[in-house]
Structure 1
Amino acid sequence: MLSVRRSAGAFVAVAIGVALVTAATLLLASGRPQVPDRLAQAAVVVQSPEAGTAADSFAPTRPWSATRAAELVGRLAGLPGVAAAVPDRTFYAQPLVDGRPPATDGQREDAHQGHGWSSARLGGLRLTAGEPPRRPGEVVVDRALGLRSGAAVTLLTAAGPEAYTVTGLVDAPGVHVADEVAAALAPGVRAIGLVLAPDVDPEQLAVAARGVVGGDGRVLTGDRRGALEPRGDARTRWIGMQVLTATAALAGFVTVFVAASTFAFTVAQRRRELGLLRAVGATPRQVRRMVYAEALAVGASAGLVGLLVGAALAPALGRLLVDVGFEPATFRVRYEHWPVAVSLTAGPVIALLAVWSASRRAARVRPLEALREAAVEQRPIGRLRVAAGALLLAAGAALSLATATSDDAHDGATYALYAVMALVTGATVLAPAVVGPTVRLLRSPVRRRGGAIGLLVRAGALTATRRTASTAAPVLLTVAFAVLVSGMVLTTTAAYTAGRADNVNAGWVVVPDRAPGLSDRAVASTGGTALLPTTVFSTDPGAGVGDLPLNALGVDPAGFAAANRVLTVVAGSLDDLRGDDTVVLTASAAPAVGLPPEPYPVVFADGERVSLSVVAVVTDDSIPGDLLLPRAVVRAHDPSALTSAVYVRDRIDPPVGARIVDVPGWAAEADRAEDRLVWLFTLLLIGVSAGYGAIAVANTVLLAAAGRAADLRLIRLAGATRRQVLWLVTAESALVVLIGAVLGGAVAFAGLLSIRAGLAEQVGAPVGLVVPWPVIGGVVGFCLLLAVVASVLPTWRLLRHRPARSPVGVIAG
């Protein structure tokens, strides 16, 4: 049967894998959208119509106009059982502390949002001091700011700094102003909350509300109100889901990989034992069933341990995800049944998948193996294994080609990850065939410098290619994933940064400082070219998708053309972008080739429907959006829109809420928050793969050292000193790590080259390959250290005593 020592590596690998799967699935099950606090007391919420397609996870809803919202509020308030119908308005408003916005590290999105005071009723918000705001210039703020009733405060709005008087305090982030002020700053309405009278059934009232709204919105109750959570929280939650899914998938893949390597190594060491079983009458089927039973026992026991560990760690991991930005502040861990069922099943399934190849090899052991004392491997790898390895390499090459020709960044990254999985598995399957040629390349250096130890290392690797390949496999996996993931992130970041900087014709860029955007007053003081983003909704019936959200930019045509190096007009003229009813479209947003003669209808952020005249069409890569509008038009329809950046020729003193950076610095910072999350995700994946690699390297090297006790004693009897034997096992470990690192590096570089080609296709320019040499050095050094320690320590313990004199020496004496 499988000994505890031999099964320890597989047990640890499966237990850690199940623990990660348990924690990830529990966190995934807990990642449901949360009802915003400001709407928690509204048992029924009417939301404005959805926009976009089913694939648009973060598309905003199309707002109602002020007229339509007032009509709906009146009709909903008249329903039996409705105590109040309150429109929820949201706009940008941020208190200034000591003349500037407060630090935003760890601050929630609603900390710089304003609402009308009537919205406080939807969240059950109560004053802790003072009175509600009733007139313009009055505001209720969070008491955490340290202000008191009657104090003066400056709010930074889209127009600029405005003076307000604090009339009351609440225990909630954000600010609340008089309803008439909120209606002016946010004329468009996306949600109407219904406060119900006591003992009214929300579901029954929802039916009546649907009769009022019809197709112009949807009615939400219970947990379905989670659809109203802020878009930033929804996007953060989605990022967390991708991280957890990828971690669980990688954990499952690497666990099967490591456990399979351990089982294969164990079966190779038990060939004589299995041969004895065959010699006494055991059939191949019985041997296979025995190996499966041993693996099932390991998987079930390790799965139970992993389940308990993962469930215990889930709350701490949930808090960590919130702290680093992979989950919103409202995230809470919930224990549900299906993650437990999945985790209990994962242990045995992983073990059975991992032992499949080893069980087939065990069943092929012949009875004569019981009489063979030599450790030399007589049989080369089988044809089926060669065919499987070649098929995997071909699949990896095909996926690499798909990566190189992909014009979508997300698809390219997905193809690259699958390509490396296929290439890693294929390289591992064919590793025994590669070990021989690789070692023979070292023949000349060994003869010149290696001496007797070098010859023994080379001979041992050539005569035990399966053992060498099994030991190198975890190094291959660790190096391949670490190099690919880190190289992909660094190369992608550098490519997009360089492309973004090349597109701008300016010396400096004014960007927000501790604020989500720049106010109009800040923009006016710079004298540069500004971009004022907003979201509009296309209502063209010919599109066939209903209301489609589009990213619009409010610009000054002349300044924008001068600051944009890649602007390419394919029809019309940018000079005609003026007045209240003109628009410039990208080629993909245009309903037809050339200038469409018919008007282009859109709905603005205030809910107003306007028909625009298309005056020009530009290429898709000309602008960072879907269409261009005159800046004054955007401001008229979206009073809370904030400028994202201002391009200036010379360095200036930045205004309040802004700072100035050079163009390369701006390009590097443009996606800094997202790049930070991506790099944290990268470190997580590298940590998972390196952790498993450490387990696998240590386990296989320990098993190899224990299985070679007789060989090492014989070398000592032949006259080698203890130091020479220790150098021998050290050199063998270094050779194994070198083989694994070379194969893993080759696989990773194949993936990186395809990623570079795909990026060049996307950005339309040559892309330099960023090689993560620190990561390569760190991972290879880590594997080498583990391999040396895991081989030297048992060897040192084995050689603590002097070897007995050989019979030849006794006779000679």
Structure 2
Amino acid sequence: MISLATARERWTSFLGSFVAVALGVAVVTMSALVLLSDGTGVPGRLAGAPVLVQSPAGEPTGGVFTENPPWAPGRAEELRRKLAELPGVAAAVADRSFYAQTPGSEQRKGERQGHPWSAAALATYALSAGRPPATAGEIVLDDSLGHGPGEPVTVLTARGPRYFSVSGTMDGPGYYVTDRSAAELTGGVRVIGLVLEPGTEATRVADTARRIVGGDGTVLTGAARDALAPRQDEMTRWIGGQVLTAMALLSAFVTVFNVSSTFAFAVAQRRREFGLLRTIGATPRQVRRLVYGEALVVGVVGAVAGSIAGMALAPAMTGLLIDAGFQPAGFEVSIRWWVPAAAWALGVAVALAGAGAASRRASRVKPLEAMREAAVDSRPMTRRRWITGLVATSLGAVCSVGTVFAGADAMVLLALGAAMGLTAGLTLLLPVLAGPLTGVLTRPLARRPGATAVLVRENMTTAVRRTSAAIAPVLATVAFAVLITSAVQTTQSADTTRQAAAVRAEAAVVPRGTPGLSDAAVARVDGTAPLSTTVYGGEGRAVLSAAGVSPGFEQAYRVRAPRGNTVVVTAAVAAAHGWGEGRTAVLTFEDGSVGRLRVTAVVDDSMPYQVFLPRELVRAHDPSALADVAYRTGPTPAPLPAGLGAEEVPVAVYAASDDAEEDRLVWRFTLILVTITAGYTMISVASTLLAATAGRTRDFRVLRLSGATPRQVLLTLAAETCCVVTLGAALGLVVAAPALFGIAHGLREELGLPVEPAVAWPWVVGVITGCLLVATAATVLPARAALRRMRRA
């Protein structure tokens, strides 16, 4: 019959597995619910049209998220006219957009909130006061901006500030002008909305519209219209999907690791118990079934708790993702019953998979193990463990060396391979490394009077399985935290250095509160300002980022600017489309028109855009294009007017902030992964040490009978814990250092610029401190309770 103390020790050892399974299932449930949700819904400015026709999608390249290519002007008008003639259609409206913004308001890069008044018929909101615009100088805008009918208002456009009189206000976002005024500011048509007569069935109209449109577009009805959500939201959702997928996969992997570690350590502690079972006739199969049964209980209970927690926390998680920028504003999570059910089944399977190796080890325990009294690990290293550990360490070392000679893409993979190989190898070799390293670490304590140092050294070197099990998760966490955070910071620092070195300019003029710089702001800068746009090339109409540049571009970038009907492309674009120097490139512009341009130069892929065009050509085809930055190459000008939404900064500052939003999301993504891994590791550390401490009651009794005070016992345990965390942190740094220095050296050689490793010390120190606090609490608190029970007995 199992005693109460033995039962307490057993289920204490499984507590970490229960928590790991519960957290893993909770993360998987939350992630799946958010990933499978429908998104932000149909955009309000188009939701009033039951049927929407969208232009065919392009083929994004280089991770570019843009709107679909527009129809050619003639084709757009032809489609609109034919769709307007359909039975039951009251109006077919071509939706157009242009950049418009009042000074002091905020807009994201790429936003275009200006529209012709005819497009207001597609919205779910309407006039709240006043009347529609009737002349070129009138505008209807959002009533939340605080302007009433009859008031003058300044609106920033791509050309510069324009002055309007407010003819009316709407109870929704947007700036609406007359159709004639909008034609001067807008590009091509990508969406045609159908306003139906009362009582007309949308599906019938949509079926007829599909026959007319054919392959020239997509007809959308109902919830499918949310495909017209802004591309910024699509990119945000894509980034959020990567975060959630990584969280779910990492949680599943680390859960298996934690469950495996917990059950392996529990089996090692219960060798006498399994030996007794074998002595009284238990077969190896029965022992395996016992371990699997315990894992099943842990998995079922933990998965139920995780599924419930995941459903409860999904809305809160959605709010956090929106605040962090990983989901667009207005996103709502949908609860689907089968998601937590699937996550529960996954949690049970993970628990059983994690206990597989432990069950096999338990079934191999010999009956004579019941005769053992000492807790000495006489043979912690098997031949298979030696071979596997040395092979993994060697592979990690080879990958570390490879990072020095690899390119940018292979460098990251080799760095991860180095970290994984060295982590796995050193973890397997820990039983043989723990003794010498402990001796070195406790040598300073040996000179002090007392038996604490002796007890710490002997306890750690005698029970090497326990010591190794406690060191391993700390090693993995510190290695992961150092490598991932430092690699991201090193890469971002190198990219900033590259951008600053690529431009020869006195300063940079950048937008503040606006999506870009207008022509009026650029005109005040003595230099060059690439006019950002999108073009579509090739038979598949590949989406390409482009810029219109002036002759001053040559001085800033040391590349000859295109003139007339010529174009400059990057090497990757030239190779993909066969646009070598002297060849003709066929491009579709933002207004839908097609141009044939001669390629005058092919430049390096490190340039900030894929295609370079004459500035006047871009302005002619994209009236709403804005400049991302203006590089000043001349003397210091007069201060820029505040109303233009621009300010001057050093080139190095702009280089650091150019991808600030992307860098911010990448850094938050990195910290989420590090936090999840560190959290799981601390669970593993806590569960291992809780189980180890619970199984050392006999040791505490011997120490007390030998004359040790409770304070001395607790001090010895705390010293052991500090040694364990210190050794794990030191080995984690050793694992990460080669790959990190290899990344820095590889970037230095590739860029030809000084690149130094950047270590995120605050996060590294925080992770180590967290491991130390958790480990100390998991050791000292249960030991203190055990000593109190001895004193009462």
Taking structure 1 as the reference length, the TM-score comes to: 0.90
2:647 to 644, 659, 666: 659
How far 1:438 sits from its partner (Å)? Answer: 2.4
Other-structure match for 2:542 = 548
The residue matched to 2:627 in structure 1 has which SS?
coil
Between the aligned partners of 2:279 and 2:704, the Cα distance in structure 1 is 33
Between the aligned partners of 1:140 and 1:588, the Cα distance in structure 2 is 45
Kept in 1: contact 2:64–2:545 (CA 8 A): no
How far 1:640 sits from its partner (Å)? Answer: 0.2
The residue matched to 2:586 in structure 1 has which SS?
strand
Kept in 2: contact 1:110–1:174 (CA 8 A): no
Structure 1: gaps (5+ residues): 540-544, 569-573, 806-813
Between the aligned partners of 1:710 and 1:617, the Cα distance in structure 2 is 77
Kept in 2: contact 1:111–1:174 (CA 8 A): no
Other-structure match for 1:620 = 605
How far 1:276 sits from its partner (Å)? Answer: 0.6
Which structure 2 residues correspond to residues 201-216 of structure 1 after superposition, within 5 A? 201-216=201-216
Partner AA of 1:767 in structure 2: V
How far 1:320 sits from its partner (Å)? Answer: 1.4
How far 1:415 sits from its partner (Å)? Answer: 6.1
Other-structure match for 2:507 = 508
Task: Indicate whether 1:481 and 2:498 are aligned.
Answer: no
Kept in 2: contact 1:45–1:192 (CA 8 A): yes
Between the aligned partners of 2:158 and 2:449, the Cα distance in structure 1 is 73
Which structure 2 residues correspond to residues 589-738 of structure 1 after superposition, within 5 A? 589-590=573-574, 596-621=581-606, 623-649=607-633, 650-652=635-637, 653-655=639-641, 656-738=644-726
Between the aligned partners of 1:321 and 1:192, the Cα distance in structure 2 is 33
Partner AA of 1:348 in structure 2: V
Between the aligned partners of 1:56 and 1:219, the Cα distance in structure 2 is 26
Other-structure match for 1:361 = 361
Partner AA of 1:153 in structure 2: V
Other-structure match for 1:491 = 490
Between the aligned partners of 2:245 and 2:188, the Cα distance in structure 1 is 37
Other-structure match for 2:25 = 18
Q: CA-atom RMSD, angstroms?
A: 2.7
Kept in 2: contact 1:439–1:461 (CA 8 A): yes
Deviations 1:554-608 (A, max 9, x none): 1112x112112xx46xxxxx26x323x1222223333688964443221111111
- More displaced 10-residue stretch of structure 1: 715-724 or 43-52: 715-724
Other-structure match for 2:84 = 77
Partner AA of 2:701 in structure 1: R
Partner AA of 2:502 in structure 1: N
Q: In the superposition, relative to structure 1, how do residues 754 and 331 fare at CA in structure 2: closer, same or farther (>3 Å)?
A: farther
Q: In the superposition, relative to structure 1, how do residues 599 and 247 fare at CA in structure 2: closer, same or farther (>3 Å)?
A: same
Taking structure 2 as the reference length, the TM-score comes to: 0.93
Partner AA of 1:550 in structure 2: L
How far 1:407 sits from its partner (Å)? Answer: 4.3
Between the aligned partners of 1:738 and 1:550, the Cα distance in structure 2 is 51
Between the aligned partners of 1:241 and 1:402, the Cα distance in structure 2 is 31
Kept in 1: contact 2:24–2:255 (CA 8 A): yes
Q: In the superposition, relative to structure 1, how do residues 11 and 547 fare at CA in structure 2: closer, same or farther (>3 Å)?
A: same
How far 1:683 sits from its partner (Å)? Answer: 2.2
Other-structure match for 1:469 = 468
Q: In the superposition, relative to structure 1, how do residues 390 and 343 fare at CA in structure 2: closer, same or farther (>3 Å)?
A: farther
Other-structure match for 2:301 = 301
Other-structure match for 1:537 = 536
Other-structure match for 1:152 = 152
- More displaced 10-residue stretch of structure 1: 497-506 or 441-450: 441-450
Partner AA of 2:592 in structure 1: G
The residue matched to 1:466 in structure 2 has which SS?
helix
How far 1:54 sits from its partner (Å)? Answer: 8.9
The residue matched to 1:588 in structure 2 has which SS?
helix
Partner AA of 2:183 in structure 1: A
Deviations 1:160-216 (A, max 9, x none): 000011111112122111112222211311111112334444344333223322332
How far 1:382 sits from its partner (Å)? Answer: 2.6
Other-structure match for 1:808 = none
Q: In the superposition, relative to structure 1, how do residues 117 and 787 fare at CA in structure 2: closer, same or farther (>3 Å)?
A: same
Task: Indicate whether 1:748 and 2:736 are aligned.
Answer: yes
Partner AA of 1:713 in structure 2: R
2:555 to 562, 574, 577: 562
The residue matched to 1:80 in structure 2 has which SS?
coil
Other-structure match for 2:123 = 123
Q: In the superposition, relative to structure 1, how do residues 241 and 709 fare at CA in structure 2: closer, same or farther (>3 Å)?
A: same
Between the aligned partners of 1:718 and 1:803, the Cα distance in structure 2 is 15
The residue matched to 1:73 in structure 2 has which SS?
helix
How far 1:136 sits from its partner (Å)? Answer: 1.0
Which structure 2 residues correspond to residues 47-446 of structure 1 after superposition, within 5 A? 47-52=54-59, 58-96=65-103, 101-102=104-105, 104=106, 113-390=113-390, 392-393=392-393, 396=396, 407=407, 413=412, 416-417=415-416, 420-421=419-420, 423-442=422-441, 444-445=443-444
Between the aligned partners of 2:342 and 2:742, the Cα distance in structure 1 is 35
Q: In the superposition, relative to structure 1, how do residues 295 and 388 fare at CA in structure 2: closer, same or farther (>3 Å)?
A: farther
Between the aligned partners of 1:55 and 1:625, the Cα distance in structure 2 is 10
How far 1:53 sits from its partner (Å)? Answer: 5.6
Kept in 1: contact 2:442–2:453 (CA 8 A): no
The residue matched to 2:45 in structure 1 has which SS?
helix
Kept in 1: contact 2:13–2:690 (CA 8 A): no
Between the aligned partners of 1:553 and 1:583, the Cα distance in structure 2 is 10
The residue matched to 1:132 in structure 2 has which SS?
coil
Kept in 2: contact 1:717–1:804 (CA 8 A): no
- More displaced 10-residue stretch of structure 1: 506-515 or 741-750: 741-750
Which structure 2 residues correspond to residues 787-798 of structure 1 after superposition, within 5 A? 787-798=775-786
Task: Indicate whether 1:585 and 2:576 are aligned.
Answer: no
Between the aligned partners of 1:698 and 1:594, the Cα distance in structure 2 is 61
Structure 2: gaps (5+ residues): none
Q: In the superposition, relative to structure 1, how do residues 28 and 397 fare at CA in structure 2: closer, same or farther (>3 Å)?
A: farther
Between the aligned partners of 1:14 and 1:35, the Cα distance in structure 2 is 38
Partner AA of 2:708 in structure 1: A
How far 1:291 sits from its partner (Å)? Answer: 0.1
Identity %: 49
Partner AA of 1:60 in structure 2: E
Partner AA of 1:563 in structure 2: A
The total of aligned residue pairs comes to 781
Other-structure match for 1:811 = none
- More displaced 10-residue stretch of structure 1: 756-765 or 514-523: 756-765
The residue matched to 1:589 in structure 2 has which SS?
helix
Deviations 1:64-121 (A, max 9, x none): 233322121111111223221111101100012xxxx32x3xx677976111122122
Kept in 2: contact 1:58–1:235 (CA 8 A): yes
Q: In the superposition, relative to structure 1, how do residues 725 and 483 fare at CA in structure 2: closer, same or farther (>3 Å)?
A: same
Deviations 1:291-313 (A, max 9, x none): 01110110011000000011000
Kept in 2: contact 1:595–1:617 (CA 8 A): yes
Between the aligned partners of 1:246 and 1:430, the Cα distance in structure 2 is 29
Kept in 2: contact 1:476–1:740 (CA 8 A): yes
Kept in 1: contact 2:61–2:542 (CA 8 A): no
How far 1:624 sits from its partner (Å)? Answer: 1.3
The residue matched to 2:59 in structure 1 has which SS?
coil
Partner AA of 1:498 in structure 2: T
Partner AA of 1:152 in structure 2: P
Partner AA of 1:483 in structure 2: V
